[in-house]
Every structure is written in structure tokens, then in C-alpha cells.
Amino acid sequence: MARALRQLGMSKRRFSPGFFAKVLVVGIAGSALLAAVMTALDWRKNPAGIFHGPDGTHWAIVGETFFSWFWPALSAAVLLILLAASLRHAVRRSRP
């Protein structure tokens, strides 16, 4: 099987073994940064006084807002990074 794939110019492994770990780390870091920035902006704007009031910051709302930005951003980041890597790999393989 491996010989047939090599003859077609294909290999079994498309990505290095640590590639998916790197994608996850980059996705988590980027998503956490985006979520933190957006949560800070929401906290500062404080719509309807839900983030903080005279009695201080409502940390439950801040946490919910952070994770409402984090999970969708992480999903999108990982998918986009994998798509970009797949396209890059395909373009590199198509060049003589």
C-alpha cells in the first residue's frame, strides 16, 4: 500500500506528528486572547449594568461572556488552521 501511494506521489502522513498539538495550542491561545479582549470591552461598556455595579463585578456574567466567545472562536480557529494547512500542502504537492 505504501509503495503504491509513493508511486502516485502520495504518502500516508500528510502532517508531522506534532502538527495537531501545535494547531491546538495556537487555537487555544488565539481564542483565549480574542475572548479576553471581547469580554474586557463588554465589561467596560457594561450594557444594562450586568457586568458590574455598586456592589462590584459580577464574575459569573464575566465568565459566561468569556466562554461564550472562547468556544466558538476555538472551533473556528482550529478548523481554519487545518483548512489552511491542507490547502498549503495541496499547493506544495502540485508544484513540480
Residue 88 has pLDDT above 90, yes or no: no
Cβ–Cβ < 8 Å for 42, 69: no
**Domain limits of the chain?**
20-48+56-94
pLDDT tens per residue, range 21-62: 888 888 999 999 999 999 999 999 998 899 999 999 999 999
pTM of the model: 0.73
Average pLDDT over the chain, rounded to an integer: 84
Give CA separation, 84 vs 22, 30, 76, in Å.
Answer: 14, 16, 12
Residue 93 has pLDDT above 80, yes or no: no
